[in-house]
Every structure is written in C-alpha cells, then in structure tokens.
Amino acid sequence: MKQSLYSIFDIKAKVYARPFVQINDDVAKRAFEGAVNTPETDLNKYPHDYALVKLADYEDTTGTIDPCEIIETLCHGHDVWQKPEPIKMPEYNGEN
C-alpha cells in the first residue's frame, strides 16, 4: 500500500525531525494538528517555528521509497494552532 514519509521542520533550528509514515496528507495534517495543540510542548509554545513537510512516497509492500523532487510544505504550526480558551473563574457573590 502506498503511504508517505513526513517530517516536522524546525524553521529556527533549520533541521527536520525524525520522519514518520502516514497513509495520506490529511492523516499527516491531523497528527501534526494534534501535536501542535498538545499543551506544554515546543510545537504548542512556538507554533510559528514549525512546518509539516512531505519528504517521499513509500510503498510498504516492496519497501521502496520515492523521494519528492521538492520537499512539499503541507502546513505551518500556526495554521492549525488553536488558542486555548481562557479559564473562567466562578463569580464570587460575597457569601460563604
């Protein structure tokens, strides 16, 4: 089955994270969105610094890898980052 290899590119460090396999671009974007919106991670703290990129196609029945001629940027962290909702404090009415 044809799948693809993806990576997260760190724009500030100018390095690619360890590649990962997904069945298509939409599933890779969903995984990236989940990672970007996980609190207390660098992806969540600095979403403007990261991009999801497609590196190659991968055929899992033959083990062959076909690199993309040009690495394709699928989306940036700030495109999928969801600003956290502010915490609503209960109103104090002066009673105990």
H helix and E strand count, the chain: 3, 5
Give the contacts of 70 (CB within 8 A, at least 6 positions apart). Answer: none
- What are the pLDDT digits (tens) for 45-91? 999 999 999 999 999 999 999 999 999 999 999 999 987 777 777 77
Question: Radius of gyration (Cα) for the chain, nearest Å?
Answer: 18
Phi, psi angles (nearest 5°) of residue 90: -65, 145
Question: pTM of the full predicted structure?
Answer: 0.84
Question: For the chain, what percent of residues have pLDDT higher than 90?
Answer: 82
Give the model's pLDDT for residue 96. Answer: 61
